[in-house]
Amino acid sequence: MSNEIRVRFAPSPTGYLHVGSLRTALYNYLYARKTCGKFVLRIEDTDRSRYVEGAVENLIETLQAVGLEYDEGPDKGGDFGPYFQSKRTDIYKKYLQELLDKDAAYYCFCTEDDLKKMREEQIANKMDIRYDGRCRNLSKEQIQEKLDQAKPYVIRAKIPDEGEVVFFDIVRERVNIKWETVDDQVLIKSDGYPTYHLANVVDDHLMEITHVIRGEEWLSSVPKHLFLYQALGWKPPKMCHLPLLLNPDKSKLSKRQGDVAVEDFLKKGYLPEALLNFIALLGWHAKGDDELFTMDKLEKEFSLKRISKAGAVFDIEKLNWMNGHYLRNLELGYIAIKAKSCFIEAGFDISDNEKYLKIVDVARNRISTLSEITEAVKPFFIVSTYSEEDQQIINNKNSQKLFTFWLENLKALDFITEDSINQLLKRSTEELGIKGKDLYFPLRLALFGSVHGPELPVIFDILGKNEVINRLQKLVK
């Protein structure tokens, strides 16, 4: 075994990639990059009842979409494969037999009905709900008799029933848990597939994982895993359990209170750069007060020691602010590529690339997510319908004089420039006596459909002389 840092992201293919899982993947990725280690993707697909067709492909596509490149995994290979647990069942059986031989595991022939009655009795007696160990002490003869009768069984870990386990967690520091609170965990189910607990321990050891970085919900499973490490004579990896992600009301982040799937955020127009920056700060903080981080900067500054114990609130307003920052500051061509599908879906003609880039540049200063972009620039493509209040401004005597004046002068220009527009604005005040909102509101309404919008020279530049004249002409009475 080398001294190289090796971490893993080990999701189950049960559906979409949760933002909490993305944070786990991100922290593993950052720690691997910070330490020049390896980041491994392993698919924990032994729970066949929860397996969702296409979930693995979706998972890999989502990780690629946000730019989290793993060094080893199902589609990349590596020295420690296969990287699907369902393809490693023979490996688990070998170590399961070793646990049985060492009396660290036992056969359990309890039926679903037996377990249901046991739970009901425990609830009625206000006891902790866990397996009561009724099969722990079956004799070899009893076991063989049931096996000969082809009785269904699982295999459970023979957890100590007294004392406590003490371990160190990088975030939680010293943790101690009484053995009496730990269940005799099922290691192999009746369908022959291992549970998470056995496969997890075996794979982490054989894949030489040095640090297990995962969510807080797995903290209570550590004693079960440490028991298996000890029984198999293996050194466990270092543990690091991340704080919960919370809704603003401090409840656990869940689908019931909004989007939690990474792909949903991407579809809504959140940039990968913003999403990763935002998620990085949900439970981790840098030395200073900076909140905006490129991936390069995150890789340099990330530290497991700066992960918080307290739950982190998922503040969508902060994500919107951060996404707006990235929309305004990333390279224009990149934003234009990201926005392209929004324009195509809206049916807008973006064949003129120069014009398209100008429109995107205007829009990105007025939106928080890419999903808002087509609505923000719709007036460049579609002539607006006007409200009664807008019609009053358009039909105003001064507005009509203004439109006529601009039509006459625009037609006389060979082409429109920013200087020529500013000159016409100046002349409108000098020759017509129209200024302030009486000057700007009618022109914006006529050309952009709203009294608020981009600077007039920008609107003129994007629409072009012919379209400007066409829109003004339609409003002249």
CA R_g for the chain: 32
26: nearest Cα among 70, 85, 68, 82: 68
Quote the CA–CA distance of 303 and 211 in Å, as a whole number.
13
278: nearest Cα among 43, 22, 2: 22
Question: What is the identity of the amino acid at 407?
Answer: L
Q: How far apart are the first and last CA of the chain?
A: 85
Q: Are strands 164-169 and 173-178 parallel, antiparallel or unpaired?
A: antiparallel
Quote the CA–CA distance of 222 and 177 in Å, as a whole number.
9
- Report how far Cα 448 is from the mean position of its chain's Cα atoms: 36
Catalytic site residue from 87, 255, 267, 300 = 255
Quote the CA–CA distance of 5 and 33 in Å, as a whole number.
10
Long-range contacts of 268-271 (CB under 8 A, 24+ apart): 268/369, 268/370, 268/371, 269/323, 269/342, 269/369, 269/370, 269/371, 269/372, 269/373, 270/319, 270/323, 270/369, 270/370, 271/323, 271/326, 271/327, 271/330, 271/338, 271/370
C-alpha neighbours within 13 Å on the C-beta side of residue 76? 16
> Does residue 84 contact residue 131 with C-beta atoms inside 8 Å?
no
Residue 102 falls in the annotated catalytic set: no
Annotated catalytic sites, by residue?
Answer: 255
